[in-house]
Structure 1
Amino acid sequence: MVALAILRVEKLKSFGNVGGSEKHTARLQDTPNADTTKKNIRLIGMEDGTALEELVKTKIASTTKHKPRKDAVLCSDIFLSASPEYFRPHDPSLAGEWDDDRMVDFAS
């Protein structure tokens, strides 16, 4: 079987969208189609537990002197993954398990 990459990019144009994205991804809200025993791994900004909305506001403030326009894209929500064959080549059917070395390589 061939491993495939999965990439989804979504523009977030309001701080409400940014907060909603974090609530969905971090399972801080009811997400019926998600397995509640599994957690997503956030690769940016997890060191101190700062809310994603605050990270975006800080980044915008540090890079511009002006308030963003009403229709500005504040940030992008990027979902990047690979098929089970990449993370578990020995047995793709073992959902929730992965090879640690492959995970580190993928995240780098």
Structure 2
Amino acid sequence: MAIKKQYLKTKPICKVTFHVTQREAEKVVVAGDFNNWNENSFELRKLKNGVFKGSINLEKDKEYEFKYIIDGHWANDDEADAKVFNEYATENSILVL
């Protein structure tokens, strides 16, 4: 899993691109506080090489909590900027922009 950040010079926005390598997976979704933890609003596209990829524009100078949903199973990103415990006694990944 990897996250690429591209800060825009003309706007207070960062283009965040998520890369998830799960060749056997059918569906990967990113859910977080930026989309009200909606399990269907930000689905990554599966490329021919088996990597799931997708981008979203987020406001910079903020922190966002998120998780991946891989075929219905919640997972963190090992390369996230940080992790924090949530109300369910598990961890969420943190994205710092």
Could you say whether these structures have the same fold, taking a TM-score greater than 0.5 normalized by the shorter chain as the test?
A: no
Q: Select the structure that is richer in strand.
A: 2
Higher RCO by CA contacts (8 Å cutoff, separation 6 or greater) = 1
The structure that has the greater radius of gyration is 1
- Greater helix fraction, Structure 1 or Structure 2: 1
What TM-score range do you get, normalising by the shorter chain? under 0.3
Could you tell me the TM-score, scaled by structure 1's length? 0.25
